[in-house]
Structure formats: C-alpha cells, structure tokens
C-alpha cells in the first residue's frame, strides 16, 4: 500500500507540473490585440521644470519596438542632428549627443515611433513637454494646410517656424517644426513668445529644408507676433521649382536650333543679328525653345536670349546658331482636336486644337462644316486662331440656328481636307472627319451661382470637370449662369484676382508674395462634386469670398 501511494503521488505531481506548464504558454487564436502601449511613468514628468538629466526615459506596460524614430518622433526645438533612440523591453530612452539646451522648453510628439513588439500597435496621442529651466513655454499655433490648386489635402507635410527674417528655407533648418495630420491640420505647442515666420513643405529627403524641385511648399507673407495662442491659419502648398533659371544647352541640327533651360519658362524674347526674323516656339514643353533656321542664316549667327520663369527670375545671354549639314528626322505634322461642340440654342460651334509644329497657313476651301447631306458651311479666316508660340489653336463658328436640323439622323461633323493646314516644314496632315457633339436644351443642364465678394479684389469663377479641367469661366460676375452643360460631375472654384489680370498667379517666394487664393465650393454635405443631369436646373449655389 505504501509503494502504491508513492506511485500515485509521483503521477499526480507530474500531471500538476504539466498542467502548470500549459497555463503559462501563449494561447493560439483568439481576438487580435489592438490595445496601444500604455505609459506608466516618465522622467521627466509631463510639464516638469528644471530637468537636468542627460536622457529622457519612458516606461510602458509592455515590451516595445521602434518604428522609424528619426522621422516619427518629433522633438521641438531640435536638440541637434544626432539623437540616440533605444528600447529595452518596456523602456524607451532618448539621448541627444549634444545634450538638452539650458532654459529651453522641449515638446516631444511620438506619433507612430513607438509600437508594441507583438502587433505593432503604436502609442496613441502621446506627447511630452518639459523645461530645462524654471519656466515652461505654453503658447500654441494651430492651422491647416491645403493644395494651392486643387481641393486635395497633401499628406505628411512639415510645418516650420523661423525666428529670424534673414533665414532661408532652402538653406536653414527651422527653430520649431511639426507634421500635419491626415486632415491637413497642424499644431505647434509649447512655444515661447516671439515673432515667427511660418512655412510648410513636403520634406521628401527629410533634412528640414526645401531643396528639391519635387517638394511642395507654401508660406504666409506676414510674420506672426506670438503673444497669445493663434489659430485658424491656412497655408496653401504649390510645387514651384525655385532653382535659379539657367540656359543649360543649345545646339543646331540642320535647320533647327534648340535652346534648353533647367526648368519651365513663362516668357521669352529672341533678338537676332542683322534684324533677322526667324520663326520660333516652345519645344515639346516650356523648358525648350525651338528656332527654325531659314536660308538667310549664315554661319555662327548671334542670337540674344531673354527668358523669365514663374518667380520672375531672368536669363539674359547670347547663343550662336548656324545651319549644319547633319540630317535630322522630321516628325510628321500632327493636330489633335478636342471636342467639337455645337450649341443648338445659340448656334455656336467651338473646338480647341494642339499642333506639334508651327502652322504657317490654313486652306479654308479645305475646311467645311457638314450640317447634313445638303448643307455645308464654310469657315472664314477670322474663325480660326492659332498661337505660334504655344502651337495651340481654337475654332469658333456662329451658325444660323435655322440650318441646324436636330431631327436628321445624319451626324453633324467637321470635315478637314488633307491639305487644310501647312506647317513650317511644308508638310500637311491627313484628312479628318470629326463628329460634333450637339448640345440641346433637353439634354443639358443649367447651373446658377451667386458670389458674395467681401474683398476689394476682382475674382474669377471657374467651372471644372471632375479631373480639374477648365470648362468655362467668368470674371467679376456676382450672379452667373452656366448653361448647356453636358450631364456629369463638376467642380466650382473662385480665384481671388488681387492683381486684376484675369488669371491665377503663383506669387513669388523670393519676394515674399503669396500665391493668389483659390477657393473650392463645398456643399453642406462636405462634397466638392456638383452633379448636373439632363434637363435639370440647379442653384443658385452661394459662395462667399
């Protein structure tokens, strides 16, 4: 009996040990852990003054890992470029190489820089503010950023404050900075009273400076004298190449000279020796000028080039051109037409077109508007315009409404003969037949708008397609109606035209001139799209500027 009891005791002990081991293993399956790490204590504590230690330490309720801390953990003002971030289990340690500056208020936003080690849940809305002196700064600047041209909100934008009017955002790092959230809102906290200049930019290379052409940026021209909390700031962002304008290359091949710049130019002027006149235009884009060399060009003819970019930066230089024996490949003439639209109410036919070459002449006996099998309408020279600089053209023809037969099953179309246009290289284009889109009252919609202009400036109303292409515009019309609109979704924006030139202007960061403001209409349902249906009349939509 005694031996049997011993055997039973050993068996029970083994079963108990196995059960004990099973209870401490991680269970498989079950709901995913979505709880963020919880801060248990920190050194310094939130709002602490006279902090003198070398490291900031935070203890959480679980083991942690770092997630791109140099970008996600934002310390303002920056204690220096070299900062060591370390985790040891539930402990996070921050140590700047140059230490914490004396009598300075620091604000640390952790964003998604600290996560739990199992599921990667980030610490939620954690911020720590402390001072190395007897005073902790507490002023706040709040605002939002937006795209300067569209209704979209740029993501992950750096908002920067500078305390000197001699700073340069292309060379100097800011005194304070923060990041915008997904809604475009930003908040700079624990600021000291001072005068600040505020900028926002897409810091793609993470160096807290604007130094690549791909980086969007924006600014407010007026300084902020911070003596109390400030809110409601709105900073529009634009993508503007701020590099100094340069003529980077020039070459001649046979009868064509190409002048290339390092960025887009907005205007140019060419002056030739001996008052020589040569046809010229933009190249494939506005970084290039094409000059066509006729037989009057002698060897090494000097040409003066004056060009300007959107920031009013100028180039004034000289270049020598000459015809060469080298053969070049001549691209065929191409002309692409946009929609040909005929308004049945007004009889107005319109279309726009783009050419790849300068068009030197049109043959108007090769251009016809076919209304039906029996009615053909000719176009006059005054009804076609062409800009040799941009190689863009427009066609506008007023037709007698009595000649428009909407009951006919035959398509109204624009018929272009093969020689209707001749280019500077003496080539023509293939014949084209383009069907017209006939807009009838019953098949279109009407949209009314009313503008309450509280400013002293001019304004431009623009109706856009859903992909931001201009449909129509009007200037200084407080009550305006867009008629005969093709059914679809539209957007409405208003440009505040401060310089009264009838268009939107970039402004000039080099002269601290802000871009002109663009406002998008947004419905009470927070939507930018305006649906237009057949035989519908909507509005008036009211916009206050």
pLDDT, averaged in runs of 10, over the chain (545 residues)? 43 42 45 85 95 96 93 85 93 95 91 90 90 94 92 88 76 81 90 92 76 79 93 91 89 91 94 87 94 84 92 90 85 90 85 94 89 83 94 91 71 87 89 86 89 93 92 93 90 93 83 88 88 90 89
CB 85 within 8 A of CB 69: yes
The C-alpha atoms of residue 303 and residue 296 are separated, in whole angstroms, by: 14
Structural domain boundaries, residue 406: 335-439
The residue out of 321, 343, 373 marking a domain boundary is: 321
Residue 32 in domain: no
Q: Residue 473: its pLDDT value, please?
A: 93
Is the domain of 412 the same as that of 471? no
Q: Residue 32: its pLDDT value, please?
A: 74
> Which residues lie below 8 Å from residue 7, measured CB to CB, with a gap of 6+?
none
Q: Residue 155: its pLDDT value, please?
A: 84
Q: Residue 29: its pLDDT value, please?
A: 53
The C-alpha atoms of residue 257 and residue 281 are separated, in whole angstroms, by: 11
Residue 298 in domain: yes
Residue 21 in domain: no
Q: Residue 228: its pLDDT value, please?
A: 94
Residue 28 in domain: no
Is the domain of 111 the same as that of 190? no
Q: Residue 6: its pLDDT value, please?
A: 42
Q: Residue 30: its pLDDT value, please?
A: 55
Q: Residue 94: its pLDDT value, please?
A: 97
Phi, psi of 32 (to 5 degrees): -75, 140
Q: Residue 23: its pLDDT value, please?
A: 40
Exposed, middle or buried: residue 393 (CB in 10 Å: 0-12, 13-18, 19+)? buried
The DSSP 8-state label assigned to residue 251 in this structure reads: E
CB 235 within 8 A of CB 145: yes
Residue recorded with tokens 């700073």 = 167
The residue out of 424, 439, 454 marking a domain boundary is: 439
Could you count the other beta carbons within 10 Å of the beta carbon of residue 477? 14
The residue out of 383, 417, 439 marking a domain boundary is: 439
- CATH, residue 61: 2.60.40.1220
Residue 2 in domain: no
- CATH, residue 496: 2.60.40.1120
Is the domain of 211 the same as that of 170? yes
Domain count across the chain: 5
């Amino acid at each position: 009996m005694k031996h049997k009891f011993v055997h039973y005791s050993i068996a029970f002990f083994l079963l108990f040990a196995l059960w004990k081991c099973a209870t401490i293993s991680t269970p498989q399956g079950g709901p995913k852990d979505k709880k963020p790490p919880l801060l248990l204590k920190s050194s310094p504590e939130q709002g602490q003054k006279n902090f003198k230690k070398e490291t900031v330490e935070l203890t959480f309720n679980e083991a942690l890992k770092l997630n791109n801390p140099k970008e996600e953990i934002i310390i303002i003002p920056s204690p220096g470029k070299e900062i060591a971030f370390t985790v040891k289990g539930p402990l996070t340690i921050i140590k700047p190489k140059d230490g914490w500056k004396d009598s300075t208020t620091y604000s640390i936003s952790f964003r998604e820089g600290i996560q739990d080690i199992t599921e990667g849940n980030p610490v939620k809305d954690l911020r720590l503010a402390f001072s190395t002196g007897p005073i902790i700064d507490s002023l706040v600047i709040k605002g939002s950023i937006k795209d300067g041209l569209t209704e979209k909100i740029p993501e992950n934008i750096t908002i920067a404050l500078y305390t000197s009017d001699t700073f340069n955002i292309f060379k100097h790092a800011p005194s304070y900075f923060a990041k915008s959230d997904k809604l475009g809102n930003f908040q700079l906290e624990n600021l000291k009273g001072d005068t600040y200049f505020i900028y926002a930019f897409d810091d793609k290379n993470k160096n807290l400076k604007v130094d690549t052409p791909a980086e969007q940026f924006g600014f407010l021209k007026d300084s902020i004298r911070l003596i109390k909390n400030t809110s409601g700031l709105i900073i529009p962002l634009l993508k503007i190449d701020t590099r100094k304008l340069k003529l980077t290359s020039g070459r001649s091949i046979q009868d064509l000279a190409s002048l290339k710049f390092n960025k887009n130019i907005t205007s140019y002027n060419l002056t030739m020796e001996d008052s020589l006149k040569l046809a010229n235009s933009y190249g494939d884009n506005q970084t290039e000028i094409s000059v066509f060399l006729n037989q009057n060009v002698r060897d090494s003819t000097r040409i003066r080039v004056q060009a300007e970019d959107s920031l009013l930066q100028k180039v004034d230089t000289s270049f020598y051109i000459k015809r060469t024996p080298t053969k070049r490949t001549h691209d065929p003439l191409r002309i692409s037409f946009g929609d040909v639209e005929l308004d049945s109410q007004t009889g107005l036919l319109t279309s726009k077109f783009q050419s790849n070459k300068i068009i030197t002449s049109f043959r108007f006996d090769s251009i016809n508007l076919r209304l039906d099998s029996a009615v053909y309408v000719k176009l006059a020279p005054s009804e076609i315009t062409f800009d040799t600089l941009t190689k863009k053209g427009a066609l506008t023809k007023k037709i007698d409404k009595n000649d428009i037969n909407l009951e006919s099953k035959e398509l109204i179309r624009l018929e272009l003969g093969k020689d209707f246009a001749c280019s500077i290289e003496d080539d023509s284009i293939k014949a084209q037949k383009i069907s017209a889109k006939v807009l009838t009252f019953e098949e279109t919609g009407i949209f009314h708008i009313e503008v309450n202009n509280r400013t002293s400036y001019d304004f431009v109303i623009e109706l856009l397609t859903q992909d931001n292409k201009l449909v129509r515009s009007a200037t200084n019309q407080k009550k305006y109606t867009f008629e005969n609109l093709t059914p679809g979704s539209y957007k409405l924006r208003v440009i505040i035209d401060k310089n009264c030139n009838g268009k939107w202007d970039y402004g000039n960061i080099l002269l601290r001139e802000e871009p002109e403001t663009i406002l998008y209409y947004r419905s009470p349902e927070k939507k930018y799209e305006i649906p237009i249906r057949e035989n519908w009349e909507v509005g008036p939509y009211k916009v206050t500027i």
